[in-house]
């Protein structure tokens, strides 16, 4: 099976840049999506196809995917960005999620 | 309104069965690949199953293969998950999710989920 690995937690000061990584074998050969989930809510896609933002997602969210690592970057992080973030990709017609990263804005 | 609404969750004993439903509205349900994703309390999402738009070719996670069956009724805009031989570790919120048409578009729409608790 294919595994995606994320750091359990990332902390950032308001206004600074947060980077959340997702690692997997030859990940650059697969598309990666990123989801934001706040307590008691369903996940929301913030990045798809490695680097595209759905309509309604702020420009401060961006993504990249190179080598074995995909990265979600949040520039000018705001308090409202505090949430759990999950990467997701595909493996032989099945779907794989990373274990998730809790982003703390303090 | 464009939405997915899950139902059918509840408390069931180990070894029991449950059927989840997901009612779709506001979009052409029959043209989308649909998935079930579950999330145990305090854990991350885990993919469970998917079914193609034409009701063919279902896929399952190894953890549920042989116990769960995904199906859909395009005439009534409803997705189903028949769960049997339920185990304590099947306890989770179960979400239905719509995958975008483009390759790599991901789960562009999620329902609010329905809680399944497997306990004696």
Mean per-residue pLDDT over chain B, rounded: 96
Average pLDDT over residues B113-117: 98
CA angle at B50 for the pair B19 and B32, rounded to the nearest 5°:
105
Residues of chain A with a CB closer than 8 angstroms to some CB in chain B: 1, 31-33, 35, 37, 42-45, 48-50, 54, 84, 86, 88, 90, 93-100
CA angle at B102 for the pair B98 and B103, rounded to the nearest 5°:
100
Spatial separation of the C-alpha atoms in residues B16 and B68, rounded to whole Å: 12
Give the closest of B44, B62, B105 to A97, CB-based.
Answer: B44
Q: For residue range B93-103, list pLDDT tens digits in order.
A: 999 999 999 99
Which of chain A's residues have a Cβ under 8 Å away from the Cβ of B102?
A: 49
Top residue of A28, A30, A42, A99 to mutate, by most chain B CBs within 10 Å, is: A42
Q: For residue range A50-65, list pLDDT tens digits in order.
A: 999 999 999 999 999 9
Average pLDDT over residues A15-26: 98
**Is A48 in contact with B100 (Cβ distance < 8 A)?**
yes
Torsion of CA A79, B95, B33, B105, to 10 degrees: 10
Average pLDDT over residues B22-39: 97
| pLDDT for res A1 | 87
Average pLDDT over residues B23-48: 97
Could you tell me if A45 and A34 are in contact, meaning their C-beta atoms sit under 8 angstroms apart?
yes
| pLDDT for res A93 | 82
Query: Which pair of structure tokens corresponds to residue A100?
Result: 């998730």
Percent of chain B with pLDDT over 90: 96
Q: What confidence tier does B41 reach under pLDDT thresholds 50, 70, 90?
A: very high
Cα distances from B39 to residues A76, B21, B30, B55, B77, in angstroms, run 30, 17, 26, 25, 24
């Amino acid at each position: 099976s294919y595994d995606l690995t994320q750091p359990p937690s990332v902390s950032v000061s308001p206004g600074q840049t947060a980077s959340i990584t997702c690692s997997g074998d030859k990940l650059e050969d697969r598309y990666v999506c990123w989801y934001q989930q706040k307590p008691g809510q369903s996940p929301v896609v913030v990045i798809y196809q490695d680097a595209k933002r759905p309509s309604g997602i702020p420009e401060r969210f961006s993504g990249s995917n190179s080598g074995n690592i995909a990265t979600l970057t949040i520039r000018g992080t705001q308090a409202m960005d505090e949430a759990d973030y999950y990467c997701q990709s595909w493996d032989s017609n099945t779907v794989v999620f990373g274990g998730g990263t809790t982003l703390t804005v303090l | 309104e464009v939405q997915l609404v899950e139902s059918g969750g509840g408390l069931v004993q180990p070894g029991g069965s449950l059927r989840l439903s997901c009612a779709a509205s506001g979009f052409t349900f029959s043209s989308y690949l649909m998935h079930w994703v579950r999330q145990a309390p305090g854990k991350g999402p885990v993919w469970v199953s998917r079914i193609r738009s034409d009701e063919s070719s279902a896929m399952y996670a190894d953890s549920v293969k042989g116990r769960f069956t995904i199906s859909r009724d395009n005439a009534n805009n409803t997705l189903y998950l028949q769960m049997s031989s339920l185990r304590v570790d099947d306890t989770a919120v179960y979400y239905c999710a719509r995958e975008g048409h483009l390759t790599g578009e991901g789960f562009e729409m999620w329902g609010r989920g329905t809680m399944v608790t497997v306990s004696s």
